[in-house]
Structure 1
Amino acid sequence: MTKADFERLREYIYRESGIYFEDNKVYYVEKRVEQQMEKYGFKDFTAYLGALRFDSTGKMRQELLNSLTINETYFFREYEQLKCLAEEVVPLWCQNGAGRSGVKIWCAGCASGEEAYTLAIVMQEMAPDILWEIYATDIDTEVLDKAEKGIYNHYAIRQVPEVYLKRYFSPLGDNYTISSLFKQKVKFCQLNLVDDAGMRKMKGFHAIFCRNVLIYFDDLSRRRVALHFYQALEPGGYVFLGHSESMSRITTLFKPVRFKNAIIYQK
């Protein structure tokens, strides 16, 4: 892939997904594009890019995006934020109207479901008497299929406390399957975070988890997504970003709130 080819493809990917690949990602992108070209029988990059642009079904575009998204995740990742949710935020919900009317949490960029199901475990343990539901979205259709199946290997569940492993997982050969209770309460669907029409449909949330996702976006796309998050939240709702991320560097819409276990951002 020439430098010009990479730049053309990078612009296409950015326009379609909001994800921006820096120059040092040429090899990463090139290997995945070569796999897609081989799959569809293309030997010429320009012909492949043209087919991508004019594919009316969107199948080729989706398969390329699936191959390019990074899905490193596991249960109970970044524990201090989960502790903040469990010990500080959930009790606030239980005391106010959110607990009475029901809590909605959005896991944005959910990958194969580990984070969404982790949030479900936290809610079930800490707030069993209030109504709650979790919406989990990702651009990658392949990982969403895995999430809905709810089957995980030992690596994915390595940080699950033993008591929760026994309570909410069942052995399945060398793997584990998540409780059917959570398969009913966690709703998975595809969503592109820079799809304005789709994002406007996301409403009424009390918390949004979007951890280690916006790091793959450029500044303009981050601000665009942050505005949608603001509009999707109920008054006083929270955004949880990755521990190395800062909403204050993206927008002034949110107020940083320092809890004992984490800093999160409030509408």
Structure 2
Amino acid sequence: MSDPANKDDSGLSPADYETFCTYLRERTGLSFTEAKRYYVDRRVAERMAAVGADSFRDYLNLLRFQASGEELQLLVNLMTVNETYFFREKYQLDCLVNSALDEVVRARRPGSRVRIWSAGCATGEEPYSIAIMLLEYWKRVDEFEIELYASDIDSRVLARAREGIYEERALHAVPQELVAKYFTQLDSRRWQIMEELRESIDFSLVNIADPKQVAGFQSFDVIFCRNLLIYFDDLGRRQAAAMFYEALSPCGFIALGHSESMSRMSSLFVPRRFPDAILYQKPQT
């Protein structure tokens, strides 16, 4: 039991904060340090008030034992940050269509599957950007059966991704001719991506720190996991890297965010330097 005398005026006691962060890290992979104390306190307090929890212990018991997991999902939705836009870190998308995919299909027959996973897809800008890049810039796009998967731990952003409605800020890096080609303007502020692209991507609610939830994610040729593992601690990153290794086909590629390096997480992958970007490859077994 935490000592009320040690309770911080801003929220959880030091012991409760540590207990909560440990619980959240074990369940979701998300890791919060003392520097995020105010951010975490506010969101826990908001959810405690919403469910009428009299104490942190009561709230933690709800998180741990609620059969539906609904409260944990609502809390996770508050904890995650989902700021992104179309064609973000485009050099990696260029690498995909200029180099990586040609290597992936080099020994494959036309009509074979090509599987791509956007992990931590947020509101959908990344997987939709991948789809547009394939259609516009990969010359062999019509020769293969392309499967695009996208996942996130936040149910709210997945609903927005499926809806595919965006404001100008999200589209600022998209050439106007592509906006006109792939989006319908709904009003002065909002555009919706075309239905064909919305239906071409399989969006799913996935916690990549849960082995049961990622067990079915296998045989991918390319995985984009950009700026997601920065929210994990070192152990969580190593575990995620091992999971992605298992999810990739031999010689498959993973793209990380510009500030991330697989060499600091795992020795399983081989860095591959292409003209446009560095990707990490699962070796041929």
Calculate the TM-score normalised by the size of structure 1.
0.96
Q: Tell me, yes or no, if structure 1 residue 131 matches structure 2 residue 142.
A: no
Greater mean alpha carbon deviation, residues 232-241 or residues 195-204 = 195-204
Alignment correspondent of 2:78: 67
Change beyond 3 A, Cα 1:246–1:98: farther
Letter in 1 for 2:118: C
Tell me which residue corresponds to 1:255: 270
Provide the rounded CA distance (Å) in 2 between the counterparts of 1:98 and 1:256.
27
Q: CA RMSD in A?
A: 1.4
Query: What pairs up with 1:87-236 in 2 under 5 angstroms?
Result: 87-93=98-104, 95-97=106-108, 100-125=111-136, 126=138, 127-129=140-142, 130-173=144-187, 174-236=189-251
Shift of 1:83: 1.3
Residue number in structure 2 paired with 1:20: 31
Find the aligned partners of 1:16 and 1:99 in 2 and give their Cα distance: 41
Quote the Cα distance in structure 1 between the aligned partners of 2:249 and 2:157: 28
Alpha carbons 2:183, 2:193 under 8 Å: kept = yes
Deviation of the 1:266 alpha carbon: 0.5
Indicate which of 21, 41, 55 corresponds to 2:52.
41
Shift, 1:193, TM fit: 0.6
The share of aligned pairs that are identical, in percent, is 43
1:243 paired with 2:258, answer yes
Distance 1:13 1:199, change over 3 A: same
Cα distance per residue 1:75-114 (max 9 Å; x no partner): 1001111111122223334543176402110000111111
- Give unmatched runs, 5+ long, in structure 1: none
**Residues in 1 aligned to 2:246 and 2:57: alpha-carbon distance in whole angstroms:** 40
Is the CA contact 2:127–2:201 (under 8 Å) kept in the aligned structure 1?
Answer: yes
In the aligned structure 1, how far is the partner of 2:276 from the partner of 2:192?
30
- How far, CA to CA, are the matches of 1:244 and 1:99 in structure 2? 36
Aligned AA for 1:7?
Answer: E
Q: How many residues align?
A: 267
Structure 1 residue aligned with 2:9: none
What displacement does 1:155 show? 1.0
1:190-249 CA distance string (max 9 Å, x none) = 111111122221111100000000111111111111111111111110000001111111
Higher Rg: 2
Superposition TM-score, scaled by structure 2 size: 0.90
Is 2:20 the partner of 1:9? yes
Letter matched to residue 218 of structure 2: K
Q: Which runs of 5+ in 2 are unaligned?
A: 1-11
Give, in whole Å, the separation in 2 of the partners of 1:91 and 1:179: 27
**Distance verdict in 2 for CA 1:78–1:213, change over 3 Å:** same
Q: Which stretch has the larger CA shift, 37-46 or 253-262? A: 37-46
Distance in 1 (CA, whole Å) between partners of 2:30 and 2:119 is 14
Q: Aligned letter for 1:29?
A: V
TM-fit CA distance, 1:57: 1.4
The answer as to whether partners of 2:104 and 2:252 remain within 8 angstroms in 1 is: no
Q: Which amino acid aligns with 2:167?
A: N
Distance 1:64 1:99, change over 3 A: farther
Q: Distance in 1 between matches of 2:215 and 2:184?
A: 37
CA distance in 1, matches of 2:112, 2:183: 29
2:50, 2:126 → 1: CA distance?
32
- The residue aligned with 1:78 is 89
1:72 partner letter: E
